[in-house]
Amino acid sequence: MKTSRTPLFIFLASLLAAIVCRPSTTAEIGEWQLVWSDEFETEGLPNAQWWDYEEGYIRNEEAQYYTVAREENARIENGSLIIEARRDNFEGRPITSASLHSSRSASWTYGKIEVRAQLATGRGTWPAIWMLGDNIGEAGWPGCGEIDIMEYVGYELETVYGTVHTTAYNHVANTEVGGNLQFDDLTETMHSYSIEWSPDEIRFFVDDQNYFTFTNDGTGNDATWPFHRPQHLKLNLAIGGGWGGSQGIDNAIFPARFLIDYVRVYQRKESPPYTIDLQSSGPGNLRVEPEKESYVDGEQITLIADPDIGTRLGKWKNVQVPRALEVPLVVNRSLQIQADFLNPNALNRNTDFSDQLSGWYNWIGGGAAANIAATSQEAALIDVTQSGSEDWHVQFGQGGLPLESGKRYQLQFDASASSGSPSLVAALAMNSEPFTTYTSNVTQLTSSPLTFTLDYTHNTVTNPNTRIEFRLGRAAGSVTLDNVTLRSLDDDALSPYEAWKRDHQIRPINDTGDPDSDGTPNLIEFLLGTDPYQVQAYSPFYSISPSREGPLLSLSEMLLPAAAEHQVSTVEEKSEDLQHWARSENAEPSLKFKRLALRAPAAIAD
């Protein structure tokens, strides 16, 4: 048998993406550069990295219930995103549709936003392509600013509208400003709807025809120009409501379809050098390698997301990279990169208010008065200016949470009072009539933030629509809430490998660590079922077999069953310099070095 002189290695890694930032077009200084896009080329649900969903009956007294990740209402088919409104009585809701948004994955300050779409037809339809300020939780609407790139109501068959809403100019005050344009085929063919947004103005276009321009008055007043902050994109198909339903809803329109061919976002190419600003929310940290004050155009970096023990990466924001803990990126502009980290065992969403008040509701009545907003420190502030006669006259909470019969649950939250000495009622209750309270606890708050816990066993029928409810109707003062988490004490959302790392106090990214220095890294210790802190006799965990192309590397047979069970993949790679590696089937046969790469599924969560 011939012996090979090709050196062999074993290599473990989190899934390091083989591609870089998706928009890859080059541009000259001052020209439009593609920075974000979705061409809707992969059939099925929209890409979960790029899009999230609104859920429920959201605004304008519209007739539709917005669903989450339901292909009947939002899917990619034949190269287009289809948002479909249906009269299907889904879970007791007569009409369903979808509203997609990019608030967790992308927002922009200035640029060209272009969406090519074919509009839904029929009386009662109300499709829209629009933008909202990321600071809506803090500034509210219309203070955050709204840019309606395209709105259409089905009873005006040939007219599309472009509008802006601010504190000074909005439809509630009947002071909104905008323009419109007429076409005779809006529901029969695709048209391009876009804006060009600069510090001085926002220009509105259909098929490159500029039909309205909103100009910055230069006063520096947010009431008239709040458009100097990031805005995210929304795509939705509403049915009925104050405008879309003002002439009723024609039952013959269903199913109504809003087709989007692509979304493309451009920004002006600036001169290098470029900077990278990293921001994270939730339990984890971000870093970049190499870490430098500035970068040249075309320089490659690696973004590294490091979730805390027992948690996961949620989404990258403002860069289109794969959902992985380590991703390469080519720098071609200054970037503000964000990522959120999530506790997968939390039944509720936006637990740390890093997405402002998204997913949380409030209700005020019984003569009480309160202001509720997200703070710049990513918490919820409830300022009760006038108390009511019952605790439930001021409510803040989140619904749609499942409680299963016989299971144990724990509600945990941080709370403090910045003024007054208010009492807080924390409860778990039905999220629909008769709003029965399952359990509650009264807590007296102090100026120092404290962590509170409410344990509960659900000894009644399963309810898929429970809610967390904080009641402050009798409390005069300001209360801050943060880190609100409802979790099951009987279930674990982590995979076996994630749970193993959590139980051994190993961070999710650390597959290659070797705490006991016995030559066996964490991932292999897990597959072997051994203790990462107890030295084991070393045994090779790969095998070598001959072939015409040289030695082949493979995982040892004793590890194969565990690797298959836990979806650990193996790939043989080759290199010339030990720095740049390629899959063996794609590499030159003459390359000197080989390694076997083991990759566990990345710790990511929606």
Instruction: Give residue limits of the domains in the chain.
Output: 8-15+496-600, 32-268, 276-342, 361-488
Strands 65-66 and 93-97: parallel
pLDDT at 549: 59
Q: What percent of the chain has pLDDT over 90?
A: 69
pLDDT at 595: 79
* Burial classification of residue 566, based on how many CB atoms lie within 10 Å of its CB (0-12 exposed, 13-18 middle, 19 or more buried): middle
Average pLDDT over residues 570-574: 81
Average pLDDT over residues 379-406: 92
| CA-to-CA separations, 479 to 326, 366, 371, 546, 581, in angstroms, rounded | 39, 19, 11, 69, 54
Neighbours of 1 (CB within 10 A): 4
Q: What is the pLDDT of residues 329-378, one digit of tens each?
A: 999 999 999 998 988 999 998 888 877 887 898 999 999 999 999 888 88
Q: What is the pLDDT of residues 506-544, one digit of tens each?
A: 999 999 899 999 988 999 999 999 999 999 887 777 766
Kindly report the average pLDDT of the chain as a whole number.
90
For residues 424 and 445, the answer to whether their CB atoms sit within 8 Å is yes
The answer as to CATH 2.60.120.200 being correct for domain 32-268 is: yes
Predicted model pTM: 0.82
The answer as to CATH 2.60.120.260 being correct for domain 361-488 is: yes
Same fold, 32-268 and 361-488: yes
Q: How far apart are CA 236 and CA 46, in angstroms?
A: 13
Q: How far apart are CA 56 and CA 349, in angstroms?
A: 14
3-state SS string over 320-348? CCCCCCEEEEECCCCEEEEEEEECCCECC
Give the phi and the psi of residue 361 in degrees, each rounded to 5.
Answer: -110, 165
Q: How far apart are CA 587 and CA 244, in angstroms?
A: 58
Q: What is the pLDDT of residues 203-213, one digit of tens each?
A: 999 999 999 99
> How does DSSP assign 461-483, residue by residue?
--EEEEEEEEE-TT--EEEEEEE
Q: Residue 22 pLDDT > 70, yes or no? A: no
Q: What is the pLDDT of residues 33-77, one digit of tens each?
A: 999 999 999 999 999 999 999 988 889 999 999 999 999 999 999
Confidence of residue 2 (pLDDT cuts 50, 70, 90): very low
Q: Residue 439 pLDDT > 70, yes or no? A: yes
pLDDT at 355: 72
Catalytic (active-site) positions: 146, 151
Confidence of residue 453 (pLDDT cuts 50, 70, 90): very high
